[in-house]
Structure 1
Amino acid sequence: MSDLDMILEKTVRSYGRRQIQAGHALMIVLARDIPFPIGDVWSAVADPERLGQWVALPEGDLRRGGNYSLPDGSHGAILRCDGPRLLTVSWAREGYTTAEVEFHLTGEDGYTRFELRYASVRKGFAVSAAPGAGLWTGGAGWEYFLDVLEEYLAGSIPEEPPGIRFEIESGGELAQLFEARNERWRRTADDFDQEHTP
C-alpha cells in the first residue's frame, strides 16, 4: 500500500440525512481514529484559546446557547455542548448555505474516535474544485481540518491558523491528496445516490 493510500484509508467516509434547524439536510460524515486521549482532543476543539492556535480565535458568548463569530466572517450558535463527547454548532457565512457541524468523540486506550458530521440544506456538496479556486469541498475540506488538528495535537502550531478555508496551489503533494480525497468522496456520493434513488 502506498503512502497516499495509507493516508486515504485513515478516514471512513459516508453520507446521510438529518433534520437541522434550517430544515432537512444532506450530511457528510467523517470518522477517524486520532492517537491522542479524548481530553486532549476535546480541549483542542472546545477551548477557545487552544482553538485559536490552530483554527481561529472565536469571539462571543462561548457557552451552550451563546453565539460565536470567527475572523473570516463565519458565525453561528453553540447548540449542544456535552464535554468531552459532543459539540454541535450552527455555521453560517455570507454566500454559503447555513449548516450544522457536530463533533462526536469516543475515547479508548489513549486514542480518540473523532466523528465529524457536517449537515447542510442543499442538493449536494462540491466534490471537485480547480486548485486555487478556494471552493470549500465538503469532504476533502473537512479532512484537511482533521489533518491540521492532528498536526496541532502532535505539537505543530501553525504561524498563522488557517481557519476553515481550504485553498490549494496547483500541483504538489497537497493538491494530489486533495484530488485523491475528492475522488473517494465522489465514489461515496455515487454509492449514497444509488442506495437512495427510487
Structure 2
Amino acid sequence: MIDTTEQISAVKRTIGSRTLDAGEARVLTATQTYDAPVEEVWDALTNIERIPRWFLPISGELKVGGSYQFEGNAGGTVERCDAPTSFAATWEFGGQVSWIEVTLTPAPGGGTTFTLEHTAAVDDDMWVQFGPGAVGIGWDMGILGLAGHLGTGASIEPGKAAEEWLASDDGRRFTALSSASWADASIAAGTDEAEARAAADRITAMYTGADQQG
C-alpha cells in the first residue's frame, strides 16, 4: 500500500494562466518523480492495454489525430505525440473542452519526472465556488494509481476497487489532503486564502459525499 500522506507530499502542484483564442485560461500543473526509466513510464501512459490497470478502461486510437474515450469519464483527440517524452490531447467532458499535456524528463540521480498540465477556460463563478480541486483531486487519484502501478507492476481494478477505497477512511483522508494541497497552490497563485479554503471544503464534501449527509 502507498502511504497517502507521502504520496500527496510527493506531488508538486502549481496554478498559472495562459492566453487562448477564447480568452484567459487557468493552467493546473502536477509533477512527480517516479523511480522508473522514461520508457517504462511512457509505456504505462500510452499502452492502451496497460492504462486500465492503473486508471480507467479506454477505447480508441492513441495516435496523432486519433480519438480516445475513457469509460465514464473524459475523451478527446490526440493532438501531438513525441515519444517517449511528451504528448498533448484535448480533454472533453460534459460538453466542455480543455487540454492536457504530459512531459517526461530524466530525473537527476535516476528515475523520471512526470509533469501534467491541464489548461481550461473556467468560468470565474465556478472557480470561486470549487477552485482547482474540482479537477485536481481527480488527477491526484490518477497519479496515485500510476505510482502504485510503477511501484509494484501489479494490475489493479480502478473501477469497483477504487470506489471502495475512496469510500474508506484512508480514501476520504486522501481526498481531503489533495483538496487542501490544491487550495495551497491556489493561495500561492494569489487567491484569497479564505476563498480558497471555502472552495476546498465544498469540493471535498462533494467528493466524499459529505454534502449529501443530513
Q: TM-score, normalised by structure 1?
A: 0.79
Q: Give the match for residue 48 of structure 1.
A: 48
Q: For residues 89-112 of structure 1, give each alpha carbon's deviation from its aligned partner in whole angstroms, at most 9, with x where no partner exists.
A: 1111225x3211111110234401
Cα distance between partner residues in 2 of 1:56 and 1:184:
24
2:104 match: 105
CA contact (8 A) 1:102 1:118 kept: yes
- Partner residue in 1 for 2:114: 114
**Residue 181 of structure 2, aligned match among 176, 179, 184:** 184
Contact 1:54–1:162 (CA<8 Å) still a contact in 2?
A: no
Partner of 1:48, secondary structure, is coil
Counterparts in 2 of 1:177 and 1:59: CA distance versus 1, 3 Å: closer
- Aligned identity (percent) is 24
1:183 and 1:28, CA in 2 relative to 1: closer, same or farther beyond 3 A? Answer: same
Match of 1:172 in 2: 169
Q: Which residues in structure 2 correspond to 1:4-83 (within 5 Å)?
A: 5-19=5-19, 23-83=23-83
| Aligned CA distance change for structure 1 residues 191 and 65 (closer, same or farther; 3 Å) | same
- Could you tell me which residue of structure 1 aligns to residue 149 of structure 2? 152
Query: CA, structure 1 residues 181+55, in 2 after alignment: closer, same or farther (shift >3 Å)?
Result: closer
Corresponding letter in the other structure for 2:154: S
Deviation of 1:9 (Å): 2.1
> How far apart, CA to CA, are the structure 1 residues paired with 2:116 and 2:159?
18
Q: CA RMSD in A?
A: 2.8
Which residue identity is paired with 1:68?
Y
CA contact (8 A) 2:90 2:99 kept: yes
**Cα distance change of structure 1 residues 7 and 60 upon mapping to structure 2, 3 Å threshold:** closer
C-alpha displacement at 1:49, in angstroms? 1.2
Distance 1:73 1:5 in 2: 26
2: CA distance, partners of 1:101 / 1:13? 15
- The count of residues paired between Structure 1 and Structure 2 equals 182
Which residues of structure 2 form unaligned runs of 5+? 193-214
Instruction: Provide the C-alpha distance between the structure 2 equivalents of 1:5 and 1:62, rounded to a whole number of angstroms.
Output: 33
Corresponding position of 1:133? none
Equivalent AA in structure 2 for residue 189 of structure 1: S
| CA distance in structure 2 between the aligned counterparts of 1:185 and 1:194, rounded to whole angstroms | 11
CA–CA distance in structure 1, aligned partners of residues 186 and 60 of structure 2 = 36
Taking structure 1 as reference, are residues 73 and 8 closer, same or farther at Cα in structure 2, changes over 3 Å only? closer
SS in 2 for 1:117: strand
Deviation at 1:143, TM superposition (A): 1.3
